[in-house]
């Protein structure tokens, strides 16, 4: 059974935990609002860029315009955080990455200390490269370093957490280069009524450089948005749990006080009885 001092210490610790969780919740809420407003403005733009990229990509393949610089097949990139307090979101993402990339030949790059520590503590035996950025949203110079790794690949799959709503985030994968499926290429029903200016080769070179970098940056932003939402939910749950612990400890403290008061009262009665016996004796 806990002593009064232990109960008070647990109560103080729980109150401190609740205050910290409340602060993190408020910070996450403000950060979520800021990131979300920025991403929502850019999301439609990036979707339009992806649509154009897909048209150019398919048109180039139908015209038998090969990408000579693309000497490797597929690269799979896993985006995780250097931090914590995201619930099970990143664990689910890593498991999703492992399950999917084990089904086909691919090179792997993992980003963030979370994936590094997770894979290092498991029996994951497939080869992978590790890139640890300074922050979860890397500065442009680090983004360029990552983009340099992408230049030799014909297909780039990015695995990252995506926010469906504030309450729901899920693992997601996107083909950064919009590699068209074989069924799409083989279908004779698809025609392109476009005049490409400049020529397709120059457009492909542009897309494979600047636009690929922009799309990669967008996946980092989407990841940060999902992680911030997950942190908001995680800290809110921690705040609720701390509140429940505080209520429990207050009940324990009140019960302990009553027990002490009852003991003092019994001691008083016992002392009074002894005094009376001594006086009567």
The number of beta carbons lying within 10 Å of the beta carbon of residue 52 is 15
> Cα(40)–Cα(49) distance, rounded to whole angstroms?
15
Helix (H) or strand (E) holding 142: helix 140-150
**113 near 93, Cβ under 8 Å?**
no
Integer-rounded Cα radius of gyration of the chain: 30
**Contact of 253 with 14, CB cutoff 8 Å:** no
Residues pairing with 129 in the sheet: 109
Q: How far apart are CA 129 and CA 222, in angstroms?
A: 22
User: Domains of the chain (ranges plus CATH)?
Assistant: 57-235 (3.40.1380.10)
Separation CA 51–CA 57 (nearest Å): 10
Q: Please, which contacts does 119-126 make with residues 24 or more away whose CB atoms are closer than 8 Å? A: 119/94, 124/98, 126/101, 126/102
pTM (2 d.p.): 0.67
Cβ atoms of 149 and 127 closer than 8 Å:
no
| Residue-wise pLDDT tens digits, 105-149 | 999 999 999 999 999 888 888 999 999 998 888 888 888 888 888
Contact assessment for residue 239 and residue 25, using Cβ atoms and an 8 Å cutoff: yes
SS3 (DSSP) at 155: strand
How do 129-131 and 153-163 pair as beta strands? unpaired
Evaluate whether 153 touches 75 at the Cβ level (below 8 Å): yes
Instruction: For residues 102 and 275, give the distance between their C-alpha atoms in angstroms, rounded to a whole number.
Output: 85
- Which residues of the chain are under the pLDDT cut of 70? 1-4, 6-7, 11, 17-18, 20-21, 23-28, 32, 37-38, 40-41, 64-71, 178-198, 236, 238, 261-262, 264-267, 269-276, 278-281
């Amino acid at each position: 059974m806990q002593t009064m001092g232990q109960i008070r210490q647990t109560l103080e610790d729980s109150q401190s935990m609740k205050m910290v969780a409340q602060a993190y919740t408020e910070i996450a809420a403000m950060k979520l609002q800021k990131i979300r407003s920025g991403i929502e403005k850019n999301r439609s733009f990036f979707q339009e860029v992806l649509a154009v990229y897909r048209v150019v990509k398919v048109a180039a393949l139908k015209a038998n315009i090969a990408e000579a610089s693309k000497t490797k097949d597929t690269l799979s990139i896993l985006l995780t955080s250097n931090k914590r307090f995201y619930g099970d979101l990143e664990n689910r993402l890593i498991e999703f990455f492992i399950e999917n990339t084990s089904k086909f030949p691919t090179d792997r790059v993992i980003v963030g200390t979370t994936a590094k520590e997770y894979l290092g503590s498991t029996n994951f035996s497939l080869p992978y490269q590790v890139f640890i950025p300074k922050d979860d949203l890397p500065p442009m110079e680090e983004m360029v370093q990552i983009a340099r790794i992408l230049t030799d690949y014909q297909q780039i799959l990015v695995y990252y957490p995506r926010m469906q709503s504030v309450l729901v985030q899920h693992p997601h994968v996107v083909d950064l280069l919009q590699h068209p499926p074989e069924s799409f290429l083989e279908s004779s029903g698809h025609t392109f009524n476009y005049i490409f200016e400049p020529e397709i080769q120059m457009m492909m070179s542009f897309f494979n450089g600047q636009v690929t970098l922009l799309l990669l940056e967008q996946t980092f932003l989407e990841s940060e948005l999902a992680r911030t939402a997950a942190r908001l939910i995680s800290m809110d749950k921690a705040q609720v749990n701390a509140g429940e612990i505080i209520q429990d400890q207050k009940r324990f403290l009140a019960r302990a006080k009553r027990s002490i008061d009852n003991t003092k009262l019994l001691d008083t009665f016992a002392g009074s009885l002894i005094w009376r016996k001594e006086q009567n004796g």
